[in-house]
Amino acid sequence: MKKILVSFLLILFFYSNSYSQSVKKLDPAVKYIYPDSGYQGTNFPITIIGLGTEWMVSNYFQIFFDTTGVTATFNSLINDTTLTATVYIDGKAITMPRGIYVLDKFTNSFTKDSALRVLLSLPVVPTLILPPDNATNQLQNVMLLWDSNAYVTSFRVQLSTDSSFSITKFDSSVANTPLQMRPDFLELGMKYFWRVKATNSLGTSEWSSIRSFTIRTIGINQISTEIPSDYKLFNNYPNPFNPATKIRFQIPRTSYVEIKIFDITGKTVKTLIEQLLKIGMYETVFDASSMPSGIYFVKMQTEGYSGINRIALIR
């Protein structure tokens, strides 16, 4: 009976120690990592030295750094006190010390504050976001959007009508993203190519990839800069029409204006304007070449005003 009990206790001891982490100190920690600094936009191997640990008991680890921008992959156990991993620092990571957290399979946490310093490097190449590449039917005051970077002092933006940028329509430095073009600057129906590069205190990035967009063929004309007394959507002319008609409206202060065309069921069939406009009187053209004859409605919507007119397309 004693032999059975001893055997049971040995099995229990072996079982419990095989499935629980053994730590030499009550407050396990990471002693240091090497190297303890790295530049934005780089990846490199690091060695993590533990303090008072027996890491061989765990068969895997997860490594984290506090705040975003720094990640660790390809973790490998060397011995009871040594781990290795590959660290990647994002090109836009904030330059501040990062704490490290090493978690094992038993949910033990090994930590060290300010273990890795992020160093400033040349700015990464900007990524263009909007408008989508090869976008069509863009407004004349199209908004250009690219990713930001906390340490960039300026962005240089170029627009051209050819992809080689031999002649530029726009070439200027701006403080930040996005950039909205003036309503009357870009030509109707024209295709434009654009690119961006970034500058910080250390230098300038390469140019971004090139994207293109095409301005809509029908635009908005500001026909008066006088200050109107109120909002108004005027009757279109001609009416009835075939296939196009002019729509005139006025706004007494800078406003975000929407003008849409609806069919008799209330379905939106065309959006003519969705943009911020300055004080004045405007005119736009509704081209219904691809639409069937019928009764339609023009609706103007802005802050504190809504106007609807009935229009007739007759083939």
- 58-67: pLDDT as tens digits: 888 899 998 8
One domain, residues 105 and 149: no
Number of domains in the chain: 3
The boundaries of the domain holding residue 110 are 18-119
Same domain, 23 and 114: yes
pLDDT band per the 50, 70, 90 thresholds, residue 106: confident
Backbone angles phi, psi at 7, to 5 degrees: -60, -40
Q: Same domain, yes or no, for 143 and 205?
A: yes
Q: Is residue 263 part of a domain?
A: yes
pLDDT of residue 19: 40
Q: Residue 39: which residues within 8 A CB-CB, separation 6 or more?
A: 89, 118, 119, 120, 121
Are the C-beta atoms of residues 107 and 23 closer than 8 Å to each other? no
Which two tokens mark 17?
A: 């120690």
Tell which of 158, 189, 215 closes a domain: 215
Are 242 and 304 in a shared domain? yes
147 and 206 in a common domain: yes
Last-in-domain residue among 71, 93, 119? 119
The CATH number given to whatever domain includes residue 236 is 2.60.40.2550
Give the residue-averaged pLDDT of 172-179. 94
Q: Is residue 12 part of a domain?
A: no
Average pLDDT over residues 38-48: 95
Does the pLDDT of residue 1 top 60, yes or no?
A: no
pLDDT averaged over every residue in the chain: 86
Residue 299 in any domain: the answer is yes
Domain annotation covers residue 278: yes
- More confident site: 186 or 266: 266
Residue 84: per-residue pLDDT: 94
Q: Enter the pTM of the model.
A: 0.60
Predicted confidence at residue 28, as pLDDT, reads 56
Does 175 share its domain with 112?
no
Instruction: Answer whether residue 10 shows pLDDT above 60.
Output: no
Claim to verify: residue 62 and residue 149 sit in the same structural domain = no
State whether 24 and 113 are in the same domain.
yes
Contacts of 183 (CB under 8 A, 6+ apart): 139, 140, 141, 220, 222, 275, 277
Edge to edge, the sheet with strand 268-277 lists: 268-277, 255-263, 294-302, 305-313
Question: Does 227 lie in the same domain as 191?
Answer: no
pLDDT (average), residues 158-174? 94
Write down the pLDDT at residue 154: 96
Can you give the CATH number for the domain in which 134 is found?
Answer: 2.60.40.10
Taking residue 31's Cβ as centre, other Cβ atoms within 10 Å add up to: 14
Residue 123 burial by Cβ neighbours in a 10 Å radius (0-12, 13-18, 19+):
buried
Pair 285, 231 in one domain: yes
CA 107 to chain centre: 35
User: Does 112 reside within a domain?
Assistant: yes
- Compare 222 and 78 and report the one with higher pLDDT: 78
Residue 282 has pLDDT above 60, yes or no: yes
277 and 194 in a common domain: no
Cα separations in angstroms, 22 against 13, 115, 175, 246, 274: 13, 24, 55, 81, 65
The whole-number pLDDT of residue 218 equals 63
Kindly state whether residue 37 falls inside one of the protein's structural domains: yes
**Domain termination residue (choose one: 119, 146, 173):** 119
Contact 29, 110 (CB under 8 A): yes
Q: Return the percentage of the chain with pLDDT > 70, whole number.
A: 90
The per-residue pLDDT for range 270-279, each reduced to its tens digit, is 988 888 888 9
- Tell me what the mean pLDDT of segment 223-241 comes to: 91
Q: Report if residue 13 sits inside a domain.
A: no
Q: Is 163 a member of any domain? A: yes
